[in-house]
Structure 1
Amino acid sequence: MALYGTFEKKCWLKFIDGKLPINQISLPGTHDSATGTYSEGIGEGGMVKTQDDSVYEQLNSGIRFIDARCRHISNSFAMHHGIIYLNKMFGDILNECKRFLQENPSEFILMSVKREHTEEQCTRSFQETFEKEYYDSYWWFGEDRFPLLEEVRGKIVLFSRFGGPHGIQTSWKDNATFDIDERIHVQDEYNQTDEVKKWHAIENAWSFAAYRGNTEWMTINFTSIAAGFWGTRSIRDYAEDKNPELATHIMSRGECCGVVVSDFHNIAMLSNGVIMTNFRNMLNPARGLFLAFLLIS
């Protein structure tokens, strides 16, 4: 027996129990989220772009983890990918997020904010600029913990990579798999030249997420790699090659996979696979009942 339903990707969290803490929800995310509208440089941003669409479009496609990399310049935050300015400011990204949350109050956004490149012409700290210019009522003001979904609907939850007293606190290691305070497991081996080792790192993080799926842990799993570490292949080439494998693997496992942060999330509908793992309990072979949802734009 099969029951079929549809729901829109832009509001898929509406169907998730509000009593679940956010670390127990599989969340699709984008790496260097602000690059989607960048079109300059070699091959129209070929060495810079990691996404094809704007942050607003990503959110409407079901993405719930945004990776914001900010250069502190003139007491403001400019969006960067390494040394490259992406022709957007952090305020532009936040406006896209606020618009989305206004239209979809059942949703929340987990936003990683990272200090990028060098500071220039600043008279205050990164944290002070964040608090003065950007930290408004759209942010969740709770303590350093994983809130329940019902607490943060309509809000942005800060995943802080710059320190300070706000949001979920982290201390990051470069190009590594590591644990933070025995509650956050991170796989971010972006500078991995061995394709097999990178795949194993991703798969091991998924196994960790499945094993710890109903505990106090959160898993952050970056499937992305840095440009130039695969010979002549670009970031897009890697995504076109690997995203279909990743999507198939996620669906075949059918388990909690944590936060999956990818390049070109729309290739092979990788983000759809992540979302669908949240509805794995709707499969009940003992009753011969399968509830299938079709994700629609």
Structure 2
Amino acid sequence: MGNIQRREFDSTDTPADKNTDWMSLLPDDKLLSDLSIPGTHRSMSLFGGNPLRCQSWNLSSQYEAGIRFVDIRCRHFYDKLAIHHGEKFLYCHFTQVLNDTISFLREHPKEVILMHVKEEYEASNNTSTFSDLVSKYMEKVEKSWFLITSVIPTLGQARGKIVILQDFDGPVTGIPYSSLSVVDEQHVPSLDDIGWKWSTVEDSLNAAETGNSDKMYITYCSGDSTDVLPWSVAEKVNYDLLSYLENKGEKKSRFGIITMDFPGVDLVHLIISNN
């Protein structure tokens, strides 16, 4: 895959435009679940070649482009949280993820970052639990940067904060991921199945559009398998997503969190414009 920069798909390292403060324009009383939020799947997977690579923008560039949901997979390894894609170490630790996120929020204090935190690959040589280690990392960067709640907050309550979507056992660190409506049909067996993949995305978006505003919906547009590369799915599904949203016309709808591989800035902006 070469460097491609289109409205809906971008494999270059620099977004064509920025959407740094879009949440600042929205009312404080809106629930986070009542928003349309662009996100990235395996947000740190910039390495590993075509079979593993899911993104081309680094985390700071994702935030600047308007991404407000990130998918962070941590391996519990020698009492550290290393960022992994399966067995592949992604040359980053959880501290860097948090520091980059806090740096963005310092500059843009009316924004909110929703962070899906999940344990990845095999734990090895640890004396602490995964949840204890997450808490230690949070304390290290100062817990005041996090909104620690198990219920969905309003935008006003969450501004300037990281809201963890907690996909691991232990004391409350954030909103339980299991309480959300998540559609993540990640396994796409063949290129012929990309059309089926899109149908699962469309069904989830339709459900989010008509569902209760206090229920948080997450739709994963990503997919792959041993025979299908992430970018192959993203090229087609991102195009279908752009068409789907454009066909809605001027009508604004709540689509929840839309999580993508290699999104283009026009697609990100179109999701944002539904708020």
- TM-score band w.r.t. shorter chain: 0.7 to 0.9
Distance 1:227 1:57 in 2: 27
- 1:137 lines up with 2:147 in the alignment: no
Structure 2 residue 84 is the aligned partner of structure 1 residue 80: yes
1:11 and 2:45 matched: no
Among 179, 185, 202, the alignment partner of 2:181 is: 185
Q: Distance in 1 between matches of 2:246 and 2:167?
A: 30
Whether 1:163 and 2:169 are equivalent positions in the alignment is: yes
Match of 1:202 in 2: 201
Mapped partners of 2:239, 2:177: distance in 1 = 31
Q: Which residue of 2 aligns with 1:283?
A: none
Q: Does 1:272 align with 2:269?
A: yes
- Give the superposition deviation at 1:245: 1.9
Quote how far apart the aligned CAs of 1:251 are: 2.7
Match of 2:224, as an amino acid?
Answer: A
How far the C-alpha of 1:229 sits from its partner, in A, is 4.3
Provide the C-alpha distance between the structure 1 equivalents of 2:166 and 2:195, rounded to a whole number of angstroms.
Answer: 31
Which runs of no fewer than 5 residues in structure 2 stay unpaired? 1-16
Q: 115, 139, 153: which one pairs with 2:119? A: 115
- Relative to structure 2, which stretch is displaced further, 150-159 or 197-206? 197-206
CA distance in structure 1 between the aligned counterparts of 2:97 and 2:163, rounded to whole angstroms: 14
1:4-51 Cα distance to aligned partner (Å, 9 max, x none)? xxx961110011111101000110000000123x3xx4xxx2111101
What is the distance in 2 between the residues matched to 1:226 and 1:48? 9
Partner of residue 47 from structure 1, selected from 43, 46, 51: 51
Q: How many residues align?
A: 249
For 1:152, the equivalent position in structure 2 comes to 158
Secondary structure, aligned partner of 1:128: helix
Query: Amino acid of the residue matched to residue 205 of structure 1?
Result: S
Asked whether 1:32 is paired with 2:66, we answer no
Runs of 4+ in 1 over 6 A off after TM superposition: none
**TM-score of the two chains, using structure 1 as the length reference:** 0.80
- Separation in 1, partners of 2:234, 2:131: 34
- CA shift at 1:215, angstroms? 2.6
Following the alignment from structure 1 to structure 2, what is the Cα–Cα distance between the partners of residues 18 and 269?
A: 26
The 1:87–1:8 alpha-carbon spacing in structure 2 relative to 1, beyond 3 Å, is closer
**After superposition, where does 1:61-80 map in structure 2 within 5 Å?**
61-80=65-84
Q: TM-score, normalised by structure 2?
A: 0.86
Equivalent residue of 1:17, what SS?
coil
In the TM superposition, what is the alpha-carbon distance from 1:196 to its structure 2 partner?
Answer: 2.9
Identify which of 102, 106, 110 aligns with 1:98.
102
Q: Distance in 1 between matches of 2:256 and 2:201?
A: 11
Matching residue of 2:5: none
In structure 2, the CA distance between the partners of 1:263 and 1:118, relative to structure 1 (3 Å rule), is: same
Partner Cα distance (2:100, 2:245) in 1: 29
For residues 185 and 70 of structure 2, what CA distance do their matches in structure 1 show?
18
Shift in Å, 1:92: 0.7
Gaps of 5+ in 1: 1-6, 172-179, 279-297
**Offset of residue 185 of structure 1:** 1.3
The answer to whether the Cα contact below 8 Å between 2:36 and 2:255 also exists between their aligned partners in 1 is yes
| 1:192-245 C-alpha deviation (Å, 9 max, x unpaired) | 332232111111111111101x53211100000024343xxx222222233122
Identity %: 31
Does the alignment pair 1:21 with 2:31?
yes
Deviations along 1:100-147, one digit per CA (max 9) or x if unpaired, are 000000101000000000111110100111112224221112x31110
The within-5 A match list for 1:238-253 is: 238-253=233-248
- 2:194, 2:233 within 8 Å by CA — same for their partners in 1? no
How far apart, CA to CA, are the structure 1 residues paired with 2:156 and 2:233? 37
